[in-house]
Amino acid sequence: MLPIPKKVVVIGGGAAGMIAAGSAGSRGLEALLIEKNHILGRKLLITGKGRCNITNTVEDVEGLIGSIPVNGKFLYSAFYTFSNHDLIELFNGLGLETKVERGGRVFPASDRSNDVVKVLKKYLKNNNVTVIKGEVKEVVSDNKKVSRVVLQDGRTILCDSVIVTTGGISYPLTGSTGDGYRFAKENGHRVTPLKPALVPLEIKEGWVREAQGLSLKNISIDIFDEDLKKIYSDFGEMIFTHYGVSGPVILSASSYLDDFKKHDYRLVIDLKPALSEEQLDQRILRDFDKHANKIFSNSLRELLPQKLIPVIVKLSNIPPEKTVNQISKSERMNLVSLLKNLGMHIKRFRPIEEAIVTSGGVAVDEVNPSTMESKLVKGLFFAGEVLDVNGYTGGFNLQIAFSTGYLAGLNC
Ligand SMILES: Cc1cc2nc3c(=O)[nH]c(=O)nc-3n(C[C@H](O)[C@H](O)[C@H](O)COP(=O)(O)OP(=O)(O)OC[C@H]3O[C@@H](n4cnc5c(N)ncnc54)[C@H](O)[C@@H]3O)c2cc1C
């Protein structure tokens, strides 16, 4: 008689869950993937603005670890077992063409995240994974060994192991409502405090609302703390919103900020980073010569986006009706300084629901880094965002989900 294959239940059909179920199936296990949404990979579909920044081409494991500010070292085995290059090879082999953009960011060549979900579904099919639509209510263990999962509709599935890949609590409409933290706690695990990471920032100054919707490209930013210590610098894109600021450089900056009760952070935007103060002054002088008889507020159209002009005019303290030829040198120098140092105070993070990832989660000192198995309950595994690990923007968070999911699938 043939031996009965071990049965593994994977809870959550996101990035981590699909890879975990496929890698378990590839070993000949009976792999069941339970997802509460009607479709798999709902969050994956909205990643990278619908293009899905799958991973990053950073050369080696050290490079990956260096891009994971929270508990990066926990991921050595996961990255060595299934690296960014292994992931690209797997996806290419399944028929997904990929391309590399600025900063090593890897996307599907089609620019469609749906194509990533499609190859993951193919991976599930190739490895005989059974997908079940259902919501897991409870993960039950007996004598410190996983025994079954119970679904909301009352179904019970007996199994040898369970991989929890339920994600965090950010963007809960995609299905990540934090159930995995409950499963972990009910099985004796510690869950570290949940905080938003890669999250937009609220700004104290009311004028930002006037610029809402304005997106700025090729700007540089600095963030200073209350002691005027520079804690972050970046160059790229950002956007003003009704509450403050968002966009790539802002989301990345948020990883370097914490406790707003202790710190008074100031964001300073250089609107013209390619020009020194002297060069910008020369440029403004040329514009002012051209528009000598115009009023100040009508003289900035070639220099600034339309939406920013009223804001800059107001902050410059130069009367808007003043004709350009009446503007003094010191007023002009103040304008130059304002454009190079547009400053504002950061009030707080936007709520965790709006964060790209959840920081905090299942404490990693209670999970075996070589297998992703719980150190407390045999047969219980965790992978993906439910763990207390998170990375910078650039494809690192999905790589964490794929690497930890793959490793759990190999060891369950
Ligand atoms: C807007 C946005 C853009 C992003 N862009 C990128 C990007 O381009 N690159 C990048 O690297 N990262 C990106 N991220 C982060 C990345 O999407 C996540 O880190 C990653 O999806 C986490 O994968 P996961 O499988 O752990 O969790 P999820 O993808 O959240 O999957 C969890 C799944 O579990 C299911 N589930 C939960 N509870 C239950 C239950 N009780 N029973 C059954 N099923 C359950 C959920 O429905 C969900 O499908 C982005 C995030 C957001 C919000």
Task: Out of 40, 397, 404, give the residue to mutate to test ligand 1, the one with the largest number of ligand atoms within 8 Å of its CB.
Answer: 397
* Pocket of ligand 1, beta carbon within 6 A: 11-17, 34-37, 42-44, 46-48, 52-53, 135-136, 165-167, 170-171, 174-176, 179, 356-357, 384-385, 395-398, 401
- For the stretch 144-180, pLDDT in tens is 999 999 999 999 999 999 999 999 999 999 999 999 9
Answer whether residue 94 shows pLDDT above 90.
Answer: yes
**Least confident piece of the model among 318-322, 361-365, 397-401:** 318-322
- For the stretch 271-324, pLDDT in tens is 999 999 999 999 999 999 999 899 999 999 999 999 999 999 999 999 999 999
**This prediction's pTM:** 0.92
Mention every residue, 6+ apart, whose C-beta is less than 8 A from residue 42: 14, 174, 175
Query: How far does residue 70's CA lie from ligand 1's centre (Å)?
Result: 18
Distances (CA, A) of 129 to 30, 124, 138: 7, 5, 21
Answer whether residue 51 shows pLDDT above 70.
Answer: yes
Please report which confidence band the pLDDT of residue 5 belongs to, taking 50, 70 and 90 as the band edges.
confident
Indicate which atom in ligand 1 lies nearest the CA of residue 12: 34
Token readout for 164 is 């929890």
CA-proximal residue: ligand 1, atom 38 (nearest)? 166
Query: How far does residue 181's CA lie from ligand 1's centre (Å)?
Result: 14
Give the separation between CA 258 and CA 265, rounded to whole angstroms. Answer: 10
Give the separation between CA 299 and CA 9, rounded to whole angstroms. Answer: 65
CATH number belonging to domain 7-195+353-411? 3.50.50.60
Start and end residues for every CATH 3.50.50.60 domain found in the chain: 7-195+353-411
Beta strands in 143-249 (DSSP E): 145-151, 156-158, 161-164, 195-197, 201-203, 215-224, 230-240, 244-246
User: Residue 191 forms beta bridges with which residues?
Assistant: 362
CA-proximal residue: ligand 1, atom 31 (nearest)? 14
CA-proximal residue: ligand 1, atom 13 (nearest)? 47
CA-proximal residue: ligand 1, atom 53 (nearest)? 356
Correct CATH for 200-349 of 1.10.8.50, 3.90.1170.50, 3.40.50.970, 1.20.120.420: 1.10.8.50
Query: How far does residue 176's CA lie from ligand 1's centre (Å)?
Result: 6
In the prediction, which pLDDT does 1 show? 65
Query: How far does residue 80's CA lie from ligand 1's centre (Å)?
Result: 23
H helix intervals, 29-149: 42-46, 61-65, 76-81, 84-93, 113-126
- For the stretch 222-271, pLDDT in tens is 999 999 999 999 999 999 999 999 999 999 999 889 889 999 999 999 99
Q: Cα 373 from chain centroid? A: 25
Query: How far does residue 47's CA lie from ligand 1's centre (Å)?
Result: 9
Start and end residues for every CATH 1.10.8.50 domain found in the chain: 200-349
CA-proximal residue: ligand 1, atom 35 (nearest)? 12
Task: Out of 166, 173, 352, give the residue to mutate to test ligand 1, the one with the largest number of ligand atoms within 8 Å of its CB.
Answer: 166
Query: How far does residue 44's CA lie from ligand 1's centre (Å)?
Result: 6
